[in-house]
Copies of this chain bind each other. A is one copy, B any other.
Amino acid sequence: MRLIEEKFIKLGADNAPGQEVRQNITAIHLRGEKINGIPVDFSHGDVDAFEPIPGSLEHFIDGYHIGGKQAYTEYRGSKNIRQDVAQKLSKFTGSVIDENQNLIITPGTQGALFLAMGSIIARGDKVSIVEPDYFANRKLVEFFDGEIVPIKMDYLNTKTSSGLDLTQLEEAFKNGVKLFLFSNPNNPTGVIYSKEEIRQIAELAQNYGAQVIVDELYSRQIFDGRSYTHLCGENMMDPENLITIIGPSKTESLSGYRLGVAFGSSQIIDRMEKLQAIVSLRASGYSQAVLASWFSEPEGWMSQRIQAHQAIRDDLLGKFNSAEGFTVRATEGGSYIFPKVPELDVTIGEFTKILRLQADVTVTPGTEFGPQFTDSFRINFSQNHAAAIDAIDRIIKVVDLYRK
């Protein structure tokens, strides 16, 4: 088999959120009748239920009318917009961000993650990722021919921390891991790393001279008034070894514009821009103008949005906790719940296909987040509140039909 074919077999995207429509589902036999209800796609947030920041479209239109200057920005993004965003993110994270050296605007946070990984990982490099964590992390390491050294997060057996195995992380650094990548809040569990954990990660990275990428995509949506620790704000590791990723695609619902930001190490940001030059040149110039609405939402808009999500979370957790055999940790930040299901006599991949066919509910199988999560699935609860509750009832019914 050619090398390139092997590479793409690992890159399978059939179960990736939003791609379910391309699955071959002819061979599935259903037990019982179809369970009717409003279709809910828990694979990503519903920007009809939670609309984009007010005024975002007007900023886009303004960008269009600026014309050529806005259409052709530097690859790292328009200088004025970088300046505005750098100021807002400095304030938010408590770190120093120079808009000329330390920040790049990208096509979505996925774009930021790809560019950061591609700027750090060379063939054969050892990279640590968390299990469970965002499904693309693993694929990115594989695409760049790195070697994955997974770090376990025992998220179900603690409530005061993420449960990351810091001993394993130190062992990994000792054995030559040069890059650690993690999302905080964690995707798919919604767990927040404790201040102590963040500081220990920083200390370990500093002691072993390792680089760190933190994906803080959901860091503005924190529940129950919890405190959140930005690694970059702790000033415990060489800032040239750290990249933070964030963007307005989630809580702020600006996903349709494809905008993300990476900030930190000037050397890595320089490389990311060089890579951007051959990947897609720049984030859409007109879309960049939409960043003016980010961190400048109308008074009270963000806190209302967080409260609305917290209310959905509470109702959904209530459902799972009162159903038989589910184990679930309460989401601390972000819009994900990652329930562990009772033992089924179909695989989790089959279960998600059945669920779509039988109950019009789309979830993402746990195995996308680590090979061992054969008994979990992820839902994004940024949905119409009533429809989401009803869909959870349907999930529980389907689980009952396929219990062992």
Q: Mark A27-38, 1 if CB is under 8 A from B, else 0.
A: 000000000000
B114 touches A274 (CB 8 A): no
A47 touches B19 (CB 8 A): no
**How many of these chains are in the complex?**
2
Q: Mark A2-41, 1 if CB is under 8 A from B, else 0.
A: 1110011001110010110110000000000000000000
Knowing A68-B46, A280-B258, the reply to whether A74 touches B18 (Cβ < 8 A) is yes
| Assembly CA distance A136 to B277 (angstroms) | 8
| Assembly CA distance A57 to B114 (angstroms) | 29
List the interface of chain A (C-beta within 8 A of B): 2-4, 7-8, 11-13, 16, 18-19, 21-22, 44, 46-49, 51, 57, 60-61, 63-64, 67-68, 70-75, 106-108, 110-111, 114, 119-125, 136, 139-140, 143, 145, 255-258, 271, 273-275, 277-287
Knowing A61-B57, A257-B284, the reply to whether A122 touches B2 (Cβ < 8 A) is yes
For the complex formed, measure the closest distance between the CB of A56 and the CB atoms of chain B, giving whole angstroms: 8
When C-beta atoms are compared, the residue in chain B nearest to A4 turns out to be B122
Q: Could you show 24 A-B contacts with beta carbons less than 8 Å apart? A: A3-B122, A3-B125, A12-B274, A13-B75, A13-B274, A16-B75, A18-B73, A57-B61, A60-B60, A61-B61, A63-B256, A70-B256, A71-B256, A107-B284, A108-B281, A110-B279, A123-B145, A136-B278, A140-B278, A255-B285, A257-B284, A279-B280, A280-B280, A287-B287
For the complex formed, measure the closest distance between the CB of A401 and the CB atoms of chain B, giving whole angstroms: 29
| Assembly CA distance A286 to B290 (angstroms) | 13
Q: Please give me the 4 A-B residue pairs with the lowest Cβ-Cβ distance, nearest first.
A: A71-B256, A3-B122, A4-B122, A258-B284
A19 touches B277 (CB 8 A): yes
| Assembly CA distance A3 to B271 (angstroms) | 13
A19 touches B256 (CB 8 A): no
- Return chain B residues, CB-CB under 8 Å to A282: 258
- Return chain B residues, CB-CB under 8 Å to A74: 18-19, 21-22
When C-beta atoms are compared, the residue in chain B nearest to A272 turns out to be B8
- Return chain B residues, CB-CB under 8 Å to A257: 284, 286
- Return chain B residues, CB-CB under 8 Å to A123: 3, 123, 145
When C-beta atoms are compared, the residue in chain B nearest to A46 turns out to be B68
| Assembly CA distance A139 to B47 (angstroms) | 38
A279 touches B277 (CB 8 A): no
B4 touches A120 (CB 8 A): yes
| Contact of A275 (CB < 8 Å), options: B11, B255, B274 | B11
For the complex formed, measure the closest distance between the CB of A213 and the CB atoms of chain B, giving whole angstroms: 14
| Contact of A278 (CB < 8 Å), options: B11, B47, B68, B284 | B11
- Return chain B residues, CB-CB under 8 Å to A72: 18, 44, 47, 255-256
For the complex formed, measure the closest distance between the CB of A246 and the CB atoms of chain B, giving whole angstroms: 16
B122 touches A274 (CB 8 A): no
For the complex formed, measure the closest distance between the CB of A343 and the CB atoms of chain B, giving whole angstroms: 31
When C-beta atoms are compared, the residue in chain B nearest to A273 turns out to be B13
| Assembly CA distance A303 to B336 (angstroms) | 52
